[in-house]
Structure formats: C-alpha cells, structure tokens
Amino acid sequence: MNKKGFEISINMVIILILAIVTLVVALGFITGFLQDLFDSTGEIFPDLTQDPTPNEPITYAPLGTILSRGRDNKMTIGFYNNEQSLVSENVRPTITCENINFVEVISSGMNIDVGSTGIYSAIVRIPSNTLPGTYPCRIRISNTEKSLFMEVK
C-alpha cells in the first residue's frame, strides 16, 4: 500500500505551537513599544475644546485629565489675560496638587497683552512615587487660578 501524505510528529506540533505563541508575544511587545515611542516623541498636543474667555480665563485639555506617573504628559493650557498688565514671557503655568510633593510643568513663555489669549503647550510630570488616585489641583498663571481634579494612574 502506498501512503501519500505528510506525517506530523508530536514534536513538530509542539514546535509549531511554540513558534506561533512566540510570534504573537513578540508582535505584542513590538507594537506596544512602538506605540509608547510614538506617544513620547510625537509633537501632538490636545486641542482646547473651549477657548479661554474673560469669565473662564484658564481652560485646559484634555478635560478629565488623567496623568501617568513618572512620564511626560501633554497638556494644552489656554489663558485669557484679564489682569491689569501684560503677562510677560517669564510667566509660565504652574500646577499644585494636594498630597503631591511636586508637579513639574515645562512650557515656553509668551507675552500676553491685556485682553488677549495665549495657548501654552505644556509637558506635565507627576513624580513616579505618587499613589494612584484623584487629586484636587490648581493651575496658576500670573495672578489667575483655576481649580481642577487630576486623576493619577
């Protein structure tokens, strides 16, 4: 009797299964790694959904701010200058939160005339030893403040 076909041994099946599992894990790692790389190097900051106004001089995006500990978080902060004088380029946004030792905000400064609007593209860093949770915070630009809640994950 002439048998035509392909015999697959148990070792071959095990090797094939291990190869597929390894490929899936490797692809998952690479795509996750690449996504993190693109997120950290991309220059895209969130758009403001609401422009600052005299009644609401500080706005920010993303709303419902969720920040990652120990990482660069991109934030856009809008400011309407309804103060008595020019806000100079030496003035930058600051964020303080209860129960967080130090929130670092990195942004460039700009001159904002009275009655004008400025948009800050900011990198916000939360210390990596901060516990996850929701924190009451304040954004301050010059003499103007706004309260918000930030979720730290």
Phi-psi region of 5 (alpha: psi -120 to 50; beta: other; left: phi over 0): left
Global pTM reads 0.65
pLDDT tens for each residue of 26-71: 887 777 766 665 555 555 888 888 889 999 998 988 876 778 888 8
pLDDT at 67: 83
**What gap in Å lies between CA 103 and CA 1, rounded to an integer?**
80
Q: Which residues contact 96 (CB under 8 A, 6 or more apart)?
A: 103, 137, 138, 140
Q: Could you report the per-residue pLDDT of 91-115, keeping only the tens digit for each?
A: 889 888 898 888 888 888 888 888 8
